[in-house]
């Protein structure tokens, strides 16, 4: 059995396979770098990371491309609000994103193209689309894609069945900004947006005048340049991107290149938090730092975000985080029991965590099959704990324990789980940092929350995260 995955386009489970002699071409819509990524963003990126790891353990080489969205309404608006250049602003948040990804033990993508770096390619794409009659320039210098020129429009989201109306609502029901009135049809979407005063210095020259590309276009351009203009094998993103973003990517790329953009579409379901939709107003758009401050290590967050099946809405709760914490402790005890048999210390575990799968997963075969069968992480973890419950280490000799560690280590690799991380990462903070943290603790006890928050931010800037305990605090490098 090779890796099977649900494909949104065909609405069926399909085998994932690269073209003969080629790595699997896997593109993911990346983060918009205008602030810290939250757990909803990370769920999608973590699920993609697990899929890539499962493919690697299965012996498939993956070319994983995930872009950086550094040019859109949000990055422009927010950089201006902070009085920074777009480049300075987005570089800061890109670096923060990288740090968070590394902390969550995500593999870096093979390539990470940026939208701003692909403006010439986007302009060439627009020119091609105009030449072929799929796009037109409006009087103000904006260019729109002519949706009626592409017969297959709506085939991914099956939008025709729901009546294609506007670009104003995405497939998760959220309303998009639509400020273009100069279109032939309300379904048409912007490929190029004519310069507006609120864009500030963020405009580029084009055959249609100064302006900037529309957001959907960037992925078509970056997929083309990252994969040499060939059909890709797999495209990932959150379900909210299915319409209009992915539908528009398909329209742009297929009309420009006359071949399929992608063979297989991989969408992950939404995240709920404590049973509610994530939103700014509810204050539940938790970042990694928010959760670390509440005492949850990045590995606990990773475990929680990948533990549910990717096609089902995951309800992220603090009870769930505590359950993940105890699940990780059980995995650690199990690793300890095997390492005791082999006569090795905890540091030896890293040597078993590998993409080189054993020939036979032995008692973990069911857990491994669950991952290959539509990335069923929930069933995989269930099967792992089923094995652990029988205390298998008790009856093993050193060789048997080593074989089991190899299978267990490949599963840990596939899930991206690291064990024993909390102890290893404890580092004593310098006296100056300790003093600041003490001041913050005292401000908090005195209910001077503004001062406490300011000190917490100062510590974060200096690279330290405070974790509150019942009767004190701990410091961790951030």
Nearer to Zn ion by Cβ, of 96 and 245: the residue is: 245
Applying the rule CB under 5 A, the residues between 262 and 281 that interact with Zn ion are none
Query: Going by C-beta distance under 8 Å and a sequence separation of 6 or more, which residues neighbour residue 304?
Result: 316, 320, 321, 324
Between the alpha carbon of residue 347 and those of residues 336, 339, 352, the distances in Å are 11, 10, 10
Q: What is the smallest separation between the CB atom of 162 and Zn ion, expressed in angstroms?
A: 21
State the pairing for strand pair 314-316/276-277: unpaired
Provide the phi-psi class of 295: left if phi over 0, else alpha when psi is between -120 and 50, else beta.
Answer: left
- Total Cβ atoms within 10 A of residue 152: 13
Residue 56 tokens, joined:
């690697």
Residue 247 tokens, joined:
């539908």
Q: What is the smallest separation between the CB atom of 317 and Zn ion, expressed in angstroms?
A: 30
Nearest to 28 by CA among 18, 42, 39: 42
Contact yes or no for 167/191 (Cβ under 8 A): no
Between the alpha carbon of residue 282 and those of residues 25, 143, 227, 277, 344, the distances in Å are 38, 37, 40, 8, 48
Q: What is the smallest separation between the CB atom of 249 and Zn ion, expressed in angstroms?
A: 6
Query: Going by C-beta distance under 8 Å and a sequence separation of 6 or more, which residues neighbour residue 170?
Result: 176, 240, 241, 242, 243, 244, 245
Nearer to Zn ion by Cβ, of 50 and 65: the residue is: 65
Give the interface segment with Zn ion, choosing from 22-30, 46-54, 200-208, 252-260 (CB under 5 A): 22-30
Nearer to Zn ion by Cβ, of 219 and 285: the residue is: 219
Cα(24)–Cα(427) distance, integer angstroms? 40
Give the interface segment with Zn ion, choosing from 23-31, 157-165, 284-292, 340-348 (CB under 5 A): 23-31
Q: What is the smallest separation between the CB atom of 40 and Zn ion, expressed in angstroms?
A: 16
Q: What is the smallest separation between the CB atom of 439 and Zn ion, expressed in angstroms?
A: 45
250 binds Zn ion (CB under 5 A): no
Give the interface segment with Zn ion, choosing from 2-10, 21-29, 47-55, 466-474 (CB under 5 A): 21-29
Q: What is the smallest separation between the CB atom of 352 and Zn ion, expressed in angstroms?
A: 37
Each residue 119-148 as x (binds Zn ion by CB under 5 A) or -, in order, gives ------------------------------
Nearer to Zn ion by Cβ, of 236 and 416: the residue is: 236
Nearest to 435 by CA among 478, 477, 473: 473
Nearest to 370 by CA among 58, 141, 61: 58
Cα(69)–Cα(307) distance, integer angstroms? 28
Q: What is the smallest separation between the CB atom of 345 and Zn ion, expressed in angstroms?
A: 45
68 binds Zn ion (CB under 5 A): no
29 binds Zn ion (CB under 5 A): yes
Nearer to Zn ion by Cβ, of 101 and 219: the residue is: 219
Q: What is the smallest separation between the CB atom of 28 and Zn ion, expressed in angstroms?
A: 8
Query: Going by C-beta distance under 8 Å and a sequence separation of 6 or more, which residues neighbour residue 168?
Result: 175, 176, 178
State the pairing for strand pair 271-273/314-316: parallel
Nearer to Zn ion by Cβ, of 32 and 304: the residue is: 32
Count residues contacting Zn ion (CB under 5 A)? 2
Nearer to Zn ion by Cβ, of 224 and 293: the residue is: 224
Helix (H) or strand (E) holding 472: strand 472-477
Give the interface segment with Zn ion, choosing from 28-36, 74-82, 185-193, 314-322 (CB under 5 A): 28-36
Q: What is the smallest separation between the CB atom of 216 and Zn ion, expressed in angstroms?
A: 7
Buried b (16+ CB within 10 A) or exposed e, 363-389: bbeebbebbbebbbbbbbbebbeebbe
Nearer to Zn ion by Cβ, of 219 and 327: the residue is: 219
Q: What is the smallest separation between the CB atom of 243 and Zn ion, expressed in angstroms?
A: 12
Nearer to Zn ion by Cβ, of 29 and 328: the residue is: 29
Applying the rule CB under 5 A, the residues between 341 and 370 that interact with Zn ion are none
Applying the rule CB under 5 A, the residues between 213 and 242 that interact with Zn ion are 219
Nearer to Zn ion by Cβ, of 30 and 308: the residue is: 30
Contact yes or no for 346/420 (Cβ under 8 A): yes
Residue 299 tokens, joined:
């590995």
Give the interface segment with Zn ion, choosing from 25-33, 153-161, 174-182, 341-349 (CB under 5 A): 25-33
Q: What is the smallest separation between the CB atom of 237 and Zn ion, expressed in angstroms?
A: 6
Contact yes or no for 261/235 (Cβ under 8 A): yes
Give the interface segment with Zn ion, choosing from 24-32, 344-352, 395-403, 448-456 (CB under 5 A): 24-32
Nearer to Zn ion by Cβ, of 30 and 478: the residue is: 30
The footprint of Zn ion (CB under 5 A) covers 29, 219
């Amino acid at each position: 059995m090779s890796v099977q995955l649900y494909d949104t386009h065909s609405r069926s489970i399909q085998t994932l396979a690269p073209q003969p002699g080629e790595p699997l071409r896997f593109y993911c819509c990346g983060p918009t770098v205008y602030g810290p990524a939250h757990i909803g963003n990370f769920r999608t990126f973590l699920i993609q990371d697990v899929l890539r790891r499962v493919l690697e353990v299965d012996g498939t080489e993956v070319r994983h491309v995930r872009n950086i969205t550094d040019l859109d309404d949000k990055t422009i608006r927010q950089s201006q609000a902070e009085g920074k250049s777009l480049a300075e602003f987005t570089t800061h948040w890109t670096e923060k994103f990288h740090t968070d990804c590394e902390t969550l033990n995500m593999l870096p993508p093979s390539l990470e193209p940026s939208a701003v770096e692909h403006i010439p390619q986007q302009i060439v794409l627009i020119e091609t689309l105009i030449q072929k009659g799929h796009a037109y320039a409006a009087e103000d210098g904006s260019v729109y894609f002519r949706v009626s020129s592409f017969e297959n429009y709506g085939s991914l989201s099956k939008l025709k069945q729901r009546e294609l109306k506007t670009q104003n609502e995405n497939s998760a029901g959220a309303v998009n900004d639509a400020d273009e009135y100069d279109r032939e049809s309300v379904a048409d979407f912007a490929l190029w947006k004519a310069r507006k005063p609120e864009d500030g210095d963020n405009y580029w020259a084009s055959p249609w005048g100064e302006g900037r590309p529309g957001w959907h276009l960037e992925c078509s351009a970056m997929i083309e340049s990252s994969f040499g203009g060939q059909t890709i094998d797999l495209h990932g993103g959150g379900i909210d991107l299915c319409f209009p973003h992915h539908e528009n990517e398909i329209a742009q790329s297929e009309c420009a290149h006359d071949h399929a953009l992608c063979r297989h579409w991989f969408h992950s379901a939404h995240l709920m938090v404590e049973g509610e939709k994530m939103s700014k107003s509810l204050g539940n758009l938790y970042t990694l730092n928010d959760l670390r401050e509440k005492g949850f290590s990045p590995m606990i967050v990773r475990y929680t975000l990948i533990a549910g099946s990717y096609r089902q809405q995951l309800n992220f709760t603090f009870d769930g985080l505590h359950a993940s914490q105890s699940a990780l402790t059980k995995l650690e005890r199990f690793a300890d029991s095997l390492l005791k048999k082999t006569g090795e210390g905890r540091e030896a575990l890293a040597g078993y965590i590998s993409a080189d799968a054993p020939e036979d997963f032995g008692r973990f075969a069911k857990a491994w099959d669950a991952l290959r069968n539509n990335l069923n992480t929930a069933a995989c973890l269930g099967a792992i704990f089923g094995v652990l419950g029988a205390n298998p280490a008790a009856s093993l000799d050193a060789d048997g324990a080593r074989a089991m560690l190899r299978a267990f280590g490949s599963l840990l690799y596939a899930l991206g789980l690291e064990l024993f991380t909390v102890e290893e990462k404890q580092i004593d903070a310098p006296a100056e940092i300790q003093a600041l943290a003490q001041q913050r603790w005292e401000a908090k006890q005195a209910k001077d929350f503004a001062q406490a928050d300011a000190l917490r931010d100062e510590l974060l800037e200096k690279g330290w995260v405070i974790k509150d305990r019942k009767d004190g605090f701990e410091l961790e490098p951030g």
